[in-house]
């Protein structure tokens, strides 16, 4: 295989023949253009040029190997070209957003000043790029489910018991049989590299230091192998499966992660089509406005052409473009059982009825989730679904493990979910924020904060183990708690 | 018939003899002054002068033919006069409001940046004239019903089902047997020309392109024939009847629209007298203040005369001044049946009791509506009425078709109404805003947005047709959802 | 009796001998100082000087005759003294507050621009003196009952009926057998002269022009005779009795008003001791700050004296200082029956239990009221009390007439109260505001606005008389209506 | 024992040998460093130097005697050293916070302008040091319990009775048999010297003047003897016990206060571990920022060290570091009975279940409390707990006395609690604020305000003694009262 000059590559700058450079290697993506889940437009923007900077934060390193035939891997740049690319990258004028982020990064407080998850989020919101923040923080439509997820916790108050010995207090639990130091796990979340160059490995290392468990997304921005490589020996990792519409590809993915040592499969069932995340969709326009100093709105040209193409579906849409939209209880669960012996958890159960069906079909667990409010707006807050299962079908808790995610902000939130019957709770965004702002130490900090808050709450409730947390220790109050604290 | 000079017309500038020029024709409106539903004052302001600019946006072209005897049509201006009128119009100094509108119009974003109905309304609020916005957006008294119409939807959350095949999803339905691509129709709304010179025809053409159905108001600003002429062959149009107190005139109107090819009669029953729309009433004063730079308030003169005449009833009052305030179940429905074979829908049912009466009297449908909160303030939100029918008298849904309008802002709102039993939902203001801001493409855009939102919501709920949407898939929650989304 | 010079009067400038000049007459109030309900301090401020300007707006002209023995009426100023007093008054520098009021008064809008009671209040808040506004608008403690009075109405929504003939609609009713053009009366409210020199007579004349009924307060700032003199022949006036602790004085008052022609006695039972109206109490300090330009807070002197005397009880406290705090069902009602044949209404009933007791004791009516939120904070909103009587003891409505006051802002509010069983509703503050801002025409305007709003609401509900308004036409909704209208 | 020079002391400036000067006496605290509940860091800051200014406001004078062996009391400074220390103190540059406080102190309004507890708090918030305000006002996590404590009272409305004689009204009651002029007591609260140099003695003297009862905290900043010395003969004082983990030390404390004449023991059961009071923890950083003019956030150093030590637990954590976390019904109550004959009250009961257990175990009273929202966030508001006891187990009120604290702001709040069955209510922060702002007169003022408000409310409800206050006179309303009063 020969090596290439920039001029040679530059000739292939159209949909007819489209080459791109990624990390000094040249790829012919002409035939792939129409298959690209994120659309051809974004690739053509880099046709005949170096695309590394756009490509890298949102693709795992093995994406090209998995998706582009070897024949289209055209080989390396020659050394002069590689040098020119590097120079161009070094000389590139930083965008306003990059300058803003760099300045904010220097101003981060030291970690001992971070007292709460809210403190951490506040730092992350300053140091994240506009695109990363838009992707991490966006939720669907009017963000009602997103905010009601957290709001639901504010309706549950404690009935704390006194005169019980609490000097010893152990907040640990197990999840699918694996020990966890606190009843919290890291929920699968895509694209950690958008926030930090080490990406999902930050989470893996933070989990290792604190003995909690990470669930890895199919859409991680590192390869599944790289993430497993970041783990300590015997550190359990779970895998969040987005099932490809093509059963063969889907099976290949499952067998890969089982081989790599992942310990369970969390099948995503609440994200068959992309939610309407307007902040994410609008993000490039906002960025454009920020960089140009011009208002976001495009002025109509004189000839009255006011209709453009339809807006895309944002980052989220691209990630699930090839997923299976026709999964069923009868077909999909047996198929999954047939190709793996790993325990199966359904991620995205939103009703009592489906919780019962899951128990009947015999999966090992369910994660009550509305995808962090990122999919169907006005889907029920998971805590309310948990509360309904507790009231209507408490037998479900005997048949499988029940987890929830969405809206957890404090240790008291975790304790509330456990009182109602949850085995553990998942957090997604807080970990993305933490690793973006501080890398591994940020991840560890979040867990330490939660641990301290959980133990304090347990002791003040008269509980010394997770088994002591009972439904009668929480009450869903019938008034509307105030939202803005005085002072 | 002779032609007229401006001087000749100018002599007739009082209530004793009042001539006006409209589109270069001269009319003697002296005897009509007292019959004018909008009052004589507004006509006398133009006595002896050209009134075209004030007349045109709020009257259909055939209004003079229908309301003024031929003998009062005095004939055309002479050519010199016509030229002078045209020059005057061209030389006329634009008002501040017109200049504001023109500038805002140029700044409209391209349509592909419009992601939601809220985005569209935001543009329309900038490009509409003060008068048009006041008429379109006003509602009665303290706007409680107006805002509660929308607020009601925020109390209904989804119980979405998973593991159901949704790759194919068809949101179409029928209304009175006519196919509609989505379960949405364009509700009758008056005076579209206030917002765009093509008026209601924009809606007709947008409906044609997207295969949905338009209901045309008795108070349209185009003639019923003009609107039908804008339709494609076989495109179904419905007619919203405001019944004149004079049965003969009312019958004439019904027979006209039946002859023109309208497919059903939607009899308005919730607007017998005008609601108290203060923003609409206050509009001329606000405009006056805007143009003069003086505060809205008039200083009392020294002699202490503080009492002026009573404020008018705004645009809305004028439109229904001659309507029948004594309709009854026993009299009016049989009368209407006797003069037309078209299906009949009652527009403005607001109670379970009246829904039952409508079913008993045998009309083909009812539209649950409080007139967009523009009539009786504190009338029940239609969604809550729908919910009560579902709870108390579900048999009603078997006897006629039930529609609702008022407060719909998202595809999820449409889906909620369908879950509860609505056959389709009507939208009024969003279409007026869309046609005002972008003409036909704006109307099409609104429908495409709704279609995308409806299909996304259906799929994420596990539904692939409108029949799959069931009452148990929504829950009226007993808490108060937050209103202000975080970030 | 001789006449006096200013020098002679000026010698009596202490508590030992305290003379004051009122309207050019000299009074020895030395012995009265301790009896003055407003305290001696305010009188001593004017000892030996002209007190007319402070005295006049808050005392009826016959107050001195009724309260000061003839021997203390020392006679007139001599003509030179009278001239000097007048000059001093003319040369007096206007206070900042007076200048503010005068400017605001000139800027009042013409009355035809007043569309609602809220519009009227907005004008009044600008043109009232600081003291008058503080007295009129103040309510007790944290103003919870004040605001919940109005808030209660926002929870009641209408179930309007359609297809009923409403071209004729009559909103009139009777109160204790006296005809009223609308189901609204003017509630007793003290000190109308604070807002307008003609005081309560403005209300009398406005009621005459519109055929509604005025209730006159014991604490009116005109004499009961003056108010009756302002009435038209046969115009009914009601009397609000604050019963003096001294039965003889109380009987004298009742006999006086019966003799003058008042038609009923409304015995106040909810204001035995003054409520804690902080705005009213604070008013002189705010005024002091306004005039001096210094902050309200007084700096402590160096010697550390930080404790002053207790704050007074404001204007309200003074008015009821001598009232009977030991009224009982067994004693007071029979006593009142024994001295008058007029119908008796109890003003200030706040519970179902007391409504039942009132029915048993046989009074002609009860006014459900918490004194406009000016007495006990957190006392129940009258509309909620009315609702409880309707639910728990509907028989009460058959035994006496039930009225309510407090929180009425719209015609729809009146209609809601009537649906629940009220015979009529009283308004206080809106009439004080109206007469302050515009005199008689303001009062008439308020009534016309209410009439229009009531008739519109009745028609849109399918009602043509007050008898058509039924409990089933309102529903107390179980959600929290939004408070801030959009736009 | 010799006397010391500053040079000699200054040599002992490290953890190896740590001496400090307090009030001109020298102490060797080397061995005590690790036992100091507030951590060694804060002591080492003053190693070899004068520590009086930091020590004094937060330690009672007998703390050194009680906690440091006599052998470590090294004796006095010599006279020259003492003079130098005094000079240094006098020459010390005032901090910005001290200057702010001094200026605000001079601007305090005279006490007669203080109309309510809210007025008093507003003054205190201005005159308190940053540290004192942070400690007094802080509460745990998101302050939900703190604000819901007060919010709970806003849901209870009155059903006031009329026509009852109220000219005589006596608000007095008894607490554990001791007379109290109003049903209010001063709740135990630590560190009064932070706000005023006379500390808790201000409360004692204020209670004496008004005949109410003070509960003294184990963590008072005066010695228990000093506080008792401030009392009048026979003035009852109660003692709030934080039980040391060491039973011998705990017994010593109980025997000391019994010997001193305290009349009852209030055992704290809701503060076994410190709540998460972020404002308190953050206080030194805020102060640091205030003094330096630099933002609170510390910039990370270049080498990427972002992790500091964990934040401390604030002032609150230090106070209870040695408390017993393993108290039980079976063990602790009998132990306490065995060492004292004083009546026992449990402070911090938060559930109906524990109220029943307390009644069964036979203590004399319970204080329903969540520690002012300073411990477990989302613990139930005490008023709601009281309401549940009233509904579910009214027999509890017959078996012991029930008190509540937390969220009381008005006399009406006190009356509500009494209607529901409370014997008296405790207030903490308001008294700390009052003594900080005005010393003893401030404390007296608070009580006078409450007395006036309670008597007014009782009379307006038709009650003349605390026995007249009945459960049926309050209703927990099912709507959400508005929070922001109009005007």
- Res B296: pLDDT: 47
Give me the count of residues in chain A.
487
More reliable by pLDDT, B58 or A72:
A72
Q: CA C242 to CA C375: how far, in whole Å?
A: 14
* Distance, CA of B436 to CA of C88 (rounded, Å): 66
pLDDT tens digits, one per residue of A421-458? 999 999 999 999 999 999 999 999 999 999 999 999 99
Quick: pLDDT tens for C432-470.
Answer: 999 999 999 999 999 999 999 999 999 999 999 999 999
**pLDDT single digits (tens) D21-31:** 999 999 999 99
How does residue C308 score in pLDDT terms, banded at 50, 70 and 90?
very low
Residue A486 has a pLDDT of: 47
Q: Apex CA C227: angle with CA C226 and CA C230, to 5°?
A: 90
Per-residue confidence band for C65, with pLDDT thresholds at 50, 70 and 90? confident
Amino acid B292: pLDDT: 81
C329–chain B Cβ distance below 8 A for any pair = no
Of A147, A296, A384, the CB nearest to B486: A147
| Average of per-residue pLDDT values in chain D | 92
Strands C25-28, D265-268: pairing kind? unpaired
Report d(CA A386, CA A392) in Å as an integer.
10
Q: How confident is the model at residue C359 (pLDDT cuts 50, 70, 90)?
A: very high
User: In this complex, do C481 and B326 lie within 8 Å of one another by their Cβ atoms?
Assistant: no
Higher model confidence: residue D314 or residue B259? B259
Q: Which of C188, C255, C265 is nearest to C227 (CA)?
A: C188
Percent of chain A at pLDDT exceeding 70? 94
Q: Considering only CB atoms, which chain C residues are within 8 Å of D478? A: 478
- pLDDT(D486) > 90: no
**Is 0.90 surpassed by the pTM of this model?**
yes
* Mean pLDDT score, C243-252: 95
**What is the crossing angle of helices A382-392 and A144-153, to 10°?**
60
* Residue C21 contacts residue C85 (beta carbons within 8 Å): yes
For the cut 90, the answer to whether the pLDDT of residue D379 exceeds it is: yes
Burial label for D258, CB within 10 Å (0-12, 13-18, 19+), is: middle
Structural contact between residues C321 and C37, judged by C-beta atoms closer than 8 angstroms: yes
- Digit-coded pLDDT (tens) for D90-102: 898 999 999 999 9
Bridge-based pairing of strands C25-28 and C19-22 is antiparallel
* Pairwise CB contact (< 8 Å): B438 & A306: yes
**pLDDT tens for each residue of C273-289:** 889 999 888 988 888 88
Give the integer Cα–Cα distance in Å for B286 and B294: 10
State whether A327 and B163 contact (CB < 8 Å). Answer: yes
* A448/D300 Cβ within 8 A: no
Residue C306 has pLDDT above 50, yes or no: no
A311 vs B112, B164, B459: nearest CB: B112
For residue A316, the model assigns a pLDDT of 65
Per cent of chain C over pLDDT 90 is 80
Average pLDDT, integer, range A116-137: 95
Question: Residue A484: pLDDT band by 50, 70, 90 thresholds?
Answer: low
| Cα–Cα distance measured from residue C32 to residue C64, given in angstroms and rounded to the nearest whole number | 11
Per residue in A82-94, pLDDT (tens digit) is: 999 999 988 989 9
How far apart are the C-alpha atoms of C51 and C23, rounded to whole Å? 8
Cβ of C251 under 8 Å from any chain D Cβ? no
Q: Tell me the backbone φ, ψ of residue A34, rounded to 5 degrees.
A: -75, -15
Q: What is the mean pLDDT of residues B476-483?
A: 92
Residue A36 Cα, gap to closest chain B Cα (Å): 19
Instruction: Identify which has the larger pLDDT, C64 or D355.
Output: D355
Facing residue for C350 by CB, picked from D112, D162, D452: D162
pLDDT at residue B452 is higher than 90: yes
DSSP secondary structure letter of residue D189: -
> Does an H or E element contain A401, and which?
strand A401-405
pLDDT band at B309; cut points 50, 70, 90: very low
3-state secondary structure labels for all residues of chain B: CCCECHHHHHCCECCCCEEEEECCEEEECCCCHHHCCCCHHHHHCCCCEECHHHHHHHCCCCHHHHHCCHHHEEEEECHHHHHHHHHHHHHCCCCHHHHHHHHHHHCCCCHHHCCCHHHHHHHHHHHCCHHHHHHHHCCCCCCHHHHHHHHHHCCEEECCCCCCCCCCCECCEEECCEEECCCEEECCCCCHHHCCCCCHHHHHHHHHHHCCEEEEECCCCCCHHHHHHHCCCCCCEEEEECCECCHHHHHHHHHHHHHHCCCCEEEECCCCCCCCCHHHHHHHHHHHHHHHCCCCCCCCCCCCCCCCCCCCCHHHHHHCCCECCCCCHHHHHHHHHHHCCCCEEEEEECCHHHHHHHHHHCCCEEEECCHHHCCCCCECCHHHHHHHHHHHCCCHHHHCEEEEECCCCCHHHHHHHHHHCCCEEEECHHHHHHHHHHCHHHHHHHHHHHHHHHHHHHHHCCCCEHHHCCHHHEEECCCCCCCCCCC
Q: Are D216 and D237 in contact (CB under 8 A)?
A: yes
Q: Given an 8 Å threshold on Cβ–Cβ distance, is B299 in contact with C160?
A: no
**DSSP state, residue D96:** H
Separation CA D97–CA D131 (nearest Å): 9
Contact partners of A by the rule of 3+ C-beta pairs under 8 A?
Answer: B, D
CA nearest to A379, candidates D324, B459, D86, B260: B459
Best B307, B321, B328, B373 residue to mutate vs chain C (most C CBs within 10 Å): B307
Using the Cβ of B412 and the Cβ atoms of chain A, whether some distance falls under 8 Å is answered with yes
- How many percent of chain D have pLDDT more than 90? 80
What would the pLDDT profile of A199-225 be if each residue is shown by its tens digit?
999 999 999 999 999 999 999 999 999
Using CB atoms, which residue from C311, C370, C384 is nearest to D115? C311
pLDDT at C305 over 70: no
Q: CB-based contact (8 Å) between C407 and chain D? A: no
- Give CA–CA dist C412/C454, Å, rounded: 6
**What is the structure's pLDDT at D66?**
85
Q: Which residue has the higher pLDDT, C487 or A459?
A: A459
**Could you say which DSSP state residue D294 is in?**
S
The A residues from 97 to 126 touching D (CB cutoff 8 Å) are 106-113, 115-116
- Residues of C annotated as catalytic are 242, 270, 371
Q: What is the mean pLDDT of chain A?
A: 92
d(CA B54, CA C422): 47
* Residues of chain D contacting residue C380, judged by C-beta atoms under 8 Å apart: 157-159, 475
With beta carbons less than 8 A apart as the criterion, state whether A182 and A171 touch.
Answer: yes
pLDDT number for residue C293:
75
For tokens 């067994």, the residue is: C330
Mean predicted confidence (pLDDT) in C160-181: 97
Residue A474 in 3-state DSSP? strand
Across the strands, what pairs with B75? Answer: B26
Instruction: Identify which has the larger pLDDT, B303 or C44.
Output: C44
Closest CB to C158 among B285, B349, B378: B378
Residues of B in contact with C107 (CB under 8 A): 295, 297, 299
Is residue D155 within 8 angstroms of chain A, CB to CB? Answer: yes
Q: What integer pLDDT is reported at residue A42 of this predicted model?
A: 86
Chain B: give the shortest CA distance to residue C8, in Å.
42
**Segment A381-395, tens digit of pLDDT:** 999 999 999 999 999
Contacts with A423 (C-beta within 8 Å, 6 or more apart), sequence order: A173, A174, A175, A183, A365, A401, A402, A403
Place of tokens 């009833």: B313
A109-132 mean pLDDT: 96
Please write the tens of the pLDDT for every residue from A357-378: 999 999 999 999 999 999 999 9
- What lies within 8 Å, CB to CB, of C366 at 6+ separation is C345, C346, C347, C349, C355, C358, C400, C401, C402, C403
Confidence check: pLDDT of C310 > 50 = no
| Contact residues on chain C for B326, CB-CB shorter than 8 A | 165-167
Judged against a pLDDT cut of 90, whether residue D293 lies above it is answered with: no
Which residue would you say has higher pLDDT here, C423 or C92?
A: C423
C298 confidence band (pLDDT: 50, 70, 90) = very low
Inform me whether the C-beta atom of residue C336 falls under 8 Å from chain D C-beta atoms: no
Determine the pLDDT at residue B103. Answer: 95
List of residues 6+ apart from A471 with CB closer than 8 A: A390, A419, A420, A421
If pLDDT is split at 50, 70 and 90, which confidence band does D306 have? very low
Percent of chain A with pLDDT over 90: 80
- Tell me if C224 sits within 8 A of C200, measured CB to CB: no
pLDDT in tens, A252-310: 999 999 999 999 999 999 988 889 999 888 988 888 888 887 654 443 433 343 344 44
User: Can you tell me the mean pLDDT for C360-375?
Assistant: 97
Evaluate whether D9 touches D19 at the Cβ level (below 8 Å): yes
Percent of chain B at pLDDT exceeding 70: 94
Mean pLDDT over B207-235 rounds to: 96
The tokens describing B26, both together, are 């001269």
The total of other beta-carbon atoms located within 10 Å of residue B364's CB is: 17
Which tens digits make up the pLDDT trace of D234-277? 999 999 999 999 999 999 999 999 999 999 999 999 988 889 99
pLDDT, mean over chain C: 92
């Amino acid at each position: 295989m020969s090596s290439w000059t920039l001029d040679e590559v530059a000739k292939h700058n159209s949909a007819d023949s489209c080459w791109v450079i990624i990390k000094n290697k040249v790829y012919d993506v002409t035939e792939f253009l129409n298959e690209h889940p994120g659309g051809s437009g974004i690739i053509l923007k880099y046709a005949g040029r170096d695309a590394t900077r756009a490509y890298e934060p949102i693709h795992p390193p093995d994406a090209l190997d998995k998706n582009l035939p070897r024949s289209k891997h055209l080989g390396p740049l020659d050394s002069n070209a590689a040098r020119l690319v590097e120079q161009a990258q070094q000389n590139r004028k930083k965008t306003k957003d990059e300058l803003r982020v760099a300045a904010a990064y220097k101003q981060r407080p030291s970690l001992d000043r971070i007292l709460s998850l809210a403190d951490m989020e506040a730092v992350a919101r300053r140091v994240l790029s506009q695109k990363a923040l838009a992707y991490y923080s966006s939720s669907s439509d009017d963000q009602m489910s997103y905010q009601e997820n957290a709001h639901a916790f504010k309706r549950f108050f404690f009935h704390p018991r006194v005169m019980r010995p609490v000097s010893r207090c152990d907040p640990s639990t197990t999840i699918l049989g694996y020990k966890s130091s606190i009843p919290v796990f890291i929920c699968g979340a895509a694209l950690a590299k958008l926030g930090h160059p080490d990406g999902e490995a930050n989470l893996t290392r933070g989990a290792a230091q604190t003995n909690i468990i990470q669930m890895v997304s199919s859409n991680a921005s590192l390869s599944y192998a790289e993430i497993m490589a970041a783990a300590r020996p015997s550190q359990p990792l779970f895998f969040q499966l987005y099932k490809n519409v093509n059963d063969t590809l889907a099976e290949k993915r499952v067998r890969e992660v089982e081989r790599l040592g992942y310990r369970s499969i969390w099948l995503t069932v609440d994200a068959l089509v992309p939610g309407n995340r307007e902040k994410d969709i609008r993000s490039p326009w906002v960025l454009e406005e920020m960089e140009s100093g011009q208002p976001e709105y495009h002025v109509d040209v004189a000839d009255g052409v006011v209709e453009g193409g339809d807006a895309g579906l944002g980052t989220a849409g691209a990630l699930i473009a090839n997923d299976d939209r026709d999964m069923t209880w009868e077909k999909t669960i047996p198929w999954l059982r047939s190709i793996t012996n790993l325990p199966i958890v359904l991620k995205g159960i939103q009703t009592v009825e489906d919780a019962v069906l899951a128990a009947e079909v015999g999966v090992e667990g369910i994660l009550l989730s509305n995808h962090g409010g990122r999919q169907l707006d006005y889907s029920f807050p998971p805590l309310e679904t948990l509360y309904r299962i507790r009231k209507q079908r408490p037998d479900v808790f005997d048949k499988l493990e029940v987890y929830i995610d969405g809206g957890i902000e404090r240790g008291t939130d975790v304790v509330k979910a456990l009182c109602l019957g949850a085995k553990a709770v998942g957090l997604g965004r807080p970990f993305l924020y933490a690793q973006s702002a501080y890398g591994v130490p940020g991840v560890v900090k979040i867990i330490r904060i939660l641990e301290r808050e959980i133990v304090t709450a347990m002791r003040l409730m008269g509980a010394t183990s997770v088994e002591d947390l009972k439904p009668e220790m929480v009450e869903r109050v019938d008034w509307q708690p105030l939202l803005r604290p005085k002072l």
